[in-house]
A and B are shown apart, each in its own frame.
Chain A
């Protein structure tokens, strides 16, 4: 009985509640029942409440930049024709390499940076984040004026760089200068492509605005290395202006009829040589800024772990170190993105018998023969021009002698083409019989070497893991990256340079030659890059060894030399793909057949028979990226890329 009463009393209140509720539910107080969201739900306003949050947003602006560091999503690397991914097994899982076999399309474009699909980071989102940042950066209450100035400058740099990246890929693009309010009608988001020169002026203008606010160099390297500096901005400005002056964008007759829907010309119709002058001046400014900070071409310092090092090998390490040396020790590096190069195991051959066949070292990224043949002879001239180098017999056999032993294993027979090449060849490319300083063995007398033939230590293995051409991009593996005793790979990481001094020197030489023809200043900048590789100056080298001795003396001849010098010096660094495009050499250079040796053979004769693996399918329309059909529908003001309609 008692319990019943208790229940009654206990239940009385809820039921009164229910009854009342039934009556008063229409009143405002009850409507509050549905206000489930508390006051302090994080919205974008909270991103700028204080310095701490705003810094986080600044890093979000940088986020996409760092996402660009993956070379297999970088058109400059993927479409350079320098590496070939299609091995029998162990390939990098990406569709991007198929760009060269003609798989680009408008239904679902590969590396679609415009929409952020198919491995392309979304650059328009990145630009919008920069705009949000710039719009709100006055809000944080505890942000000092000097820091604010620096952050604004960084955001302006990033905004310019993202536009520039799109410009290189798509040509004319819409300029996104401000954050469009989300509540506007959808129509206001439909922006036109702007003529390329307007976009170039816009991004160079942004850099000019940013440069005074940036620090000349990073002081707190432990926490800030990788943030944008004046030197980076000046060097990028030079590259942007050189791009603008280059044949792809400067009076390109192929795009003479390319207009938007209102009849506005999107590419300049006539060549303006003044653009090269501006670019040369910008290069000069960047070089003197770098010189002021004591940046200089890298040379290898022998660490205590290496007891003896021959000059030939030291040279190789200097050339490799310009790319793979840690940023803080690399006197040449102007700019690298903070992501680490993640594919050393795909670039390194198996160098020891215990190397894990299955996992650790697929070693599948293959260098086509055409790229290997790009490198000069030891006399610093092209192999097809060197009078003292037996070009015709380059595929016949030769056995390495004692004099060759630092580059080719003594007593090993390989093709003649591997002998008497410049040091950059031995620093950049590994081949059957080539030596490998490092990889765990730092004794120059018992160096590891590449055995490329089947049954050789580096040759094709069970389950098809192989390098199909027989040439590895050695430059992309740090010399200390080593095979462990259990057969795994212990990787010494590095960041792929985005801009280094040698590249800037060659860019300056190029712009200067284009602006005013050969001159001593042009020669001196090429020669300083050559002299680091222990090659003589261009004029002297060509005069003494080339069958075209006068080539460096004409503007056209020197242009060829500079382009080749840059392709050699910057090989595999994700630059050539962009350079070939702006030079309008992409179709001729990148469409060379991918050739190499017959790696399924153990016998030397059968191994050295030339195989063709792929004939690239690219044409004029591949200079610029197509837009997807969907994007054209979403924005009726856009026109499709030239030759893609």
Chain B
């Protein structure tokens, strides 16, 4: 009954143009223009996710509560609209449509958006050999413009239900009841499309960059130096407060001097002098120098003979320096209080509350002391090539972060409307990066390549803003970065009686019952509180990330494969998002479906499995609040290896291609996300803790690549 087309139609256009103008022998001007334009037309989605939220909605719709649509009953035989199913649900609002019907959401209309991104760069390269030999100047002016608008055309669906008494099972006849018939329904159902604008977005970015470069060799001495100055600004149209409406600016000056002797000994000095608009004038600029040196052992005169044939390249390098980070919180300006003088805590007076004032709210307090987060970085590496075939880079690094911004511990009785932060935290991170590549041509027709990389890192907090705890396990200081704290789950409660007689576990919802998770009372005080939360598992960001792959060619055939993986990480199933039969959060309000893994193993009165995957079921978060706590019950090993990509290609031999008047022709077949090896098998591990996230897709491509 829909006469419009709302299939996904996504078009992308790109435009690129570079113009080089040699203004003089020493001056070159480059103009780069680049545009990227997208047009989308398709089903209505809440976000720009190509309707993946419809998937989420379907996952939050009970399959037995109502059908996608009804066949008309006798009263609706002539209806011109689709009789979508729905259910009045358990709502106290006057609208009787209790749920989202994903089928109706899919069919009700379509949405269009257009976005354009344009960028221009002017670049000036000026050789200044006439002033100082080896000196050049490069200047850039870049601006990006982004614009987006969207609108939708949709009808508001008609929803129907059948109540039990209106269904005659024997005759299989029923009477539909129109749910959103009342004029107070919001929105009122329509058979025609209604237009609504979905807003527009725009932002601009401007950057100026000037850079002097100097390169000169004096016999065995080579010197190069540069000085770069950058200022940039961005503005966006979606600002909602004065502070976000102001331009975002950065100002950076960086210098670099490097020297080498005979290409054997290298020294380099870098320094950045960076300004951030977020801090007060006294703390605005940070100076971050770095010094490094390296030794190209294989360039030494003594490097020769047999060893030089085995180790064809050897380099040792090391550096020491500082960096700064100003992206340390969402707060726009730390040095300025943010007060909303037009809203919050308002009140109204009068017989009919006729006289109102909006009130005042303090969103942030002025804090002039906040400044750059600093990191001291040391780095040592060895680069080695064996037989000109195997290249290995091994690097050990260490970061000592200080001035980490943290919330001060201020009692609630102070009555502050916003938190106070200070640069008080420290952390140490250590890591190793390894890269090894091997390439070998076995014969004229056979070649082979291996590549691999691995990063291992581990970070721990040093100082952390926290109170004096009675329980030593509560301190974050000394724990791993991104390590989660939670309760130790022992098993499920046997029955209500046991739940009642155990240490009390109250988290603002109902008291626990049989089948709920029993937590360990670590401090033995008879109550489960925050004090019983302990650090658990590995960090949520993996400590080990690696990838490896190979390519292999025989004549016209080539085979490529890439693996990637991670290890030493922990992740948590999100019980709030995955629990069956409870209302979803955010824009998805339906009742979540039951995952198979939970359906296969859950605690019930009939099957009181104390180690079932899912504990006692409930119909809202209050009933099962006990089980929604962060605990080892939901903790899982996050490591996996994935065969990310396999590609088989066949290139037409030169002679065959020539016959077809082609320069080059390659046919390929590739598959993405083919196999995954992981201990976690409930759902794809890269969906994270929420099984209802749009799943990672396995895709296969068959393609042909032709050059004329």
Contact = CB atoms under 8 A, between A and B. Distances in A.
Given A103-B509, A338-B349, A359 B88 contact: yes
A209 interface: no
Given A225-B350, A359-B92, A629-B531, A46 B339 contact: yes
Contact of B91 (A33, A60, A359): A359
A521 interface: no
B75 interface: no
B468 A224 contact: no
A360 interface: yes
A90 B92 CA distance: 6
Contact of A359 (B96, B229, B358): B96
Interface stretch (B295-303, B307-315, B404-412, B449-457): B404-412
A34 interface: yes
Contact of B350 (A18, A173, A190, A223): A223
Interface in B526-553: 527-531
A30 B208 contact: no
A114 B528 CA distance: 21
A353 interface: no
B91 A21 contact: no
A11 B124 contact: yes
Contact of A33 (B124, B251, B417, B504): B251
A603 B479 CA distance: 65
A337 to B, nearest CB: 9
Given A44-B337, A359-B96, 15 more contacts: A7-B29, A22-B210, A31-B275, A56-B341, A63-B345, A66-B347, A101-B511, A115-B412, A124-B413, A124-B415, A125-B417, A129-B345, A190-B411, A362-B92, A488-B94
A635 B413 CA distance: 9
Contact of B284 (A34, A55, A489): A34
A36 B247 contact: yes
Interface in B157-172: 163-165
B511 A634 contact: no
Contacts of A635: 411, 413
Contacts of A489: 94
A22 B509 contact: no
Given A36-B249, A108-B508, A56 B360 contact: yes
Interface in A311-359: 326-328, 338, 345-346, 356, 358-359
A620 interface: no
A256 interface: no
B364 to A, nearest CB: 10
A226 B352 CA distance: 10
Bin chain A's interface residue count. 35 or more
Residue of A47, A186, A224 contacting most chain B CB atoms (<10 Å): A186
A343 to B, nearest CB: 9
A629 B344 CA distance: 29
A34 to B, nearest CB: 4
Interface in A475-528: 486-489
Contact of A21 (B208, B243, B351, B509): B208
B530 A21 contact: no
B357 A41 contact: no
B124 A15 contact: yes
Contacts of A15: 124, 139, 141
B556 interface: no
Contacts, number: 291
B410 to A, nearest CB: 5
Residue of A104, A190, A326 contacting most chain B CB atoms (<10 Å): A190
Residue of A182, A225, A486, A488 contacting most chain B CB atoms (<10 Å): A182
Given A46-B341, A105-B508, A107-B506, A37 B333 contact: yes
A11 B351 contact: no
Nearest to A125: B415
Interface string B466-496: 0111000000000000000000000000000
A6 B555 CA distance: 55
Interface in A43-74: 43-44, 46-47, 53, 55-60, 62-67
Contacts of A205: none
B277 A36 contact: yes
B349 A226 contact: yes
Interface of B: 21, 23, 29, 88, 90-96, 122, 124, 137, 139-141, 163-165, 182-184, 208-212, 227-229, 231, 242-243, 246-249, 251, 253, 273, 275-277, 281, 284-285, 333, 336-337, 339-341, 344-362, 365-366, 408-417, 420, 467-469, 504, 506-511, 527-531, 622
A105 B507 contact: yes
A122 interface: yes
27 contacts: A4-B21, A21-B229, A31-B284, A33-B231, A33-B251, A35-B277, A36-B248, A36-B249, A43-B336, A46-B339, A56-B341, A60-B357, A63-B359, A66-B347, A66-B348, A67-B345, A90-B92, A93-B92, A105-B504, A116-B412, A124-B415, A128-B415, A180-B414, A223-B349, A358-B96, A634-B467, A635-B411
Interface in A112-152: 114-116, 118, 122, 124-129
B569 to A, nearest CB: 28
Contacts of A488: 94, 182, 184
Contacts of B622: 95, 98
B289 to A, nearest CB: 15
B95 A359 contact: yes
Nearest to A227: B349
A127 B417 CA distance: 11
Interface string A623-645: 00000011101111010000000
Q: Which 10 A-B pairs have the closest CB atoms?
A: A63-B345, A128-B415, A105-B506, A124-B415, A22-B210, A635-B411, A60-B359, A59-B357, A223-B355, A189-B414
Interface string A448-459: 000000000000
A634 B419 CA distance: 13
A63 to B, nearest CB: 3
Contacts of B96: 356, 358-359
Contact of B508 (A41, A118, A328, A462): A118
B90 A222 contact: no
A602 interface: no
A473 interface: no
A261 to B, nearest CB: 13
A291 interface: no
A90 B98 CA distance: 12
Residue of B228, B340, B341 contacting most chain A CB atoms (<10 Å): B341
Contact of B354 (A17, A55, A223, A360): A223
Contacts of A182: 365-366, 416, 420
B475 to A, nearest CB: 12
A25 B251 contact: yes
A19 interface: yes
A390 to B, nearest CB: 40
Contacts of B420: 182, 186
Contact of A186 (B122, B409, B510): B409
